Amino acid sequence: MCAPNRPRRGLAWPVVAGLGSLGLLWPVLRLAGFESVAGGFGTALAAYGATLVVWVAVAGLGGVPRPVATLALAGVVHGALLGTCTVVLDLGHVDRFGEGALVLVVEVGRSAGLGALAGLLAEQVQARRRG
């Protein structure tokens, strides 16, 4: 909530782009062979866990304006990068174009939802730090 006399601050677009670029973490971990050590589930857990911790820490402790919207949009960027890498690098073993489009849509939606949840957590961190 904004105070009536205080103008609403805009989105931090560099933060959206920077945090969204963490969508490259999972493909990089897979290409680096981390999956053979930790397994598929372990790699996914490490990538998503690290991403969520960084998102909440940066937005919550950094005082990012409008953390829910910022992290939801970072999630869209994250999902687009992750879905594109999955299709282009054949990390998800997608055989047809239609499957690739479905993977992309699902990943963008899932990542945007996780971003919004992380934004709610970051908003709580900001509120606790203020008072």
What pTM value is reported for the model?
0.86
pLDDT value of position 44? 86
Would you say residue 3 has pLDDT above 60? no
Q: Give me 42's structure tokens.
A: 């372990």
**Beta carbons within 10 angstroms of residue 8's beta carbon:** 8
Q: Give me 76's structure tokens.
A: 């869209």
pLDDT in tens, 23-36: 898 888 888 888 88
Select from 47, 55, 53 the least CA-distant residue to 30: 47
> Domain locations in the chain?
13-130
pLDDT in tens, 47-98: 899 999 999 999 999 999 999 999 999 999 999 998 888 777 776 666 666 7
pLDDT value of position 51? 94
Would you say residue 7 has pLDDT above 60? no
